[in-house]
């Protein structure tokens, strides 16, 4: 029994050593141009009910919450 295990492990070791595989190399492609316009992250605390209404409105209009809020700010402070 012990001899069978030794033979089995020797066979496994030989198989692993003979079948060395290459690790694939990742290709890095630089991004062309700016990803985003100048933006600054901003955290805002609003009532949960207001957020729910905004999410429903954004979904109804097919816009993101970010788009909806930015449009509202632009509309309010037109120059």
- Give the model's pLDDT for residue 76: 92
**Alpha-carbon gap, residue 79 to 70, rounded angstroms:** 15
Domain-wise residue ranges, the chain:
42-79
pTM score, whole prediction = 0.50
- Give the model's pLDDT for residue 59: 96
- Give the model's pLDDT for residue 66: 94
Q: Is the pLDDT of residue 75 over 90?
A: yes
Per residue in 7-61, pLDDT tens?
Answer: 888 888 888 778 777 778 888 888 777 666 788 889 999 999 999 999 999 999 9
- Give the model's pLDDT for residue 50: 96
Compute the CA torsion angle 66, 67, 71, 74 (nearest 10 deg): 60
């Amino acid at each position: 029994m012990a001899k069978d295990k030794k033979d089995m492990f020797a066979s496994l070791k030989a198989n692993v050593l003979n079948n060395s595989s290459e690790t694939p190399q990742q290709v890095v492609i630089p991004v062309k141009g700016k990803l985003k316009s100048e933006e600054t992250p901003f955290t805002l605390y609003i009532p949960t009910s207001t957020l729910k209404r905004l999410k429903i409105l954004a979904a109804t209009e097919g816009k993101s919450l970010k788009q909806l809020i930015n449009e509202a700010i632009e509309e309010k402070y037109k120059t």
